[in-house]
Amino acid sequence: MDPLTAAMRIAGSGLDAQSNRLRVVSENIANAQSTSRVAGGDPYQRKTISFAAELDRAAGVNLIKANQVGLDYSAFPIEFDPGNSAANEAGYVKMPNVNVLVEMADMREANRSYEANLQVVKQVRDLVSMTIELMRPS
């Protein structure tokens, strides 16, 4: 396969991976206050995503692929809120183990990686059209 086309495909897989990461981050941020439906139950558990290199045999290059979405097993912070429907008999509520600051940092990183892959796509496109331009009469 043409190296420039391969570079385009790799950057495309990077865009896919980073958009998946952004999806997980948005799930975590949206559910940062989601408590349990039943009294004393567990709240929303933070989701994590990781990536792995994947060999594209047709092109002989390493693409990036998101692994299965995992769960964060850290402890849930406990708040005293007897009025909440998810509170246990003592009046304590388990809150999700989502730290919005961490999610924001993750979001910025996903954003930057997406932009980097986008720049690769742009550069490759420009190079290919410049090469095609060689065939044009000047």
Partner 1 sequence: MIDPVTAAALGVPSLATDSAKVPAVNSSQAAAANGVGTFADVLANVGETTIDKLNTAESAAIGGIRGDTGPREVAEAVMSAEQSLQIAIAVRDKVVSAYLEISRMAI
Q: Which residues of this chain interact with partner 1, rule CB under 8 A?
A: 8, 12, 15-16, 19, 125, 128-129, 132, 135-137
Q: Which is nearer to partner 1, 8 or 69 (CB)?
A: 8
Q: Which is nearer to partner 1, 12 or 45 (CB)?
A: 12
Q: Which two tokens stand for residue 94?
A: 């388990």
Shortest spacing between CB 10 and partner 1, in angstroms: 12
Q: Which is nearer to partner 1, 14 or 43 (CB)?
A: 14
Q: Which is nearer to partner 1, 32 or 121 (CB)?
A: 121
Q: Across the strands, what pairs with 53? A: 64
Contact 25, 76 (CB under 8 A): no
Shortest spacing between CB 12 and partner 1, in angstroms: 6
Contact 33, 46 (CB under 8 A): no
Nearest to 10 by CA among 130, 120, 109, 119: 120
Shortest spacing between CB 23 and partner 1, in angstroms: 11
Work out the angle at residue 71's Cα, subtended by the Cα atoms of residues 22 and 20, and round it to the nearest 5 degrees: 20
Q: Which is nearer to partner 1, 23 or 47 (CB)?
A: 23
Shortest spacing between CB 88 and partner 1, in angstroms: 43
Strand ranges inside 44-122, DSSP E? 47-48, 51-56, 61-66, 70-71, 78-80, 92-94
Shortest spacing between CB 34 and partner 1, in angstroms: 27
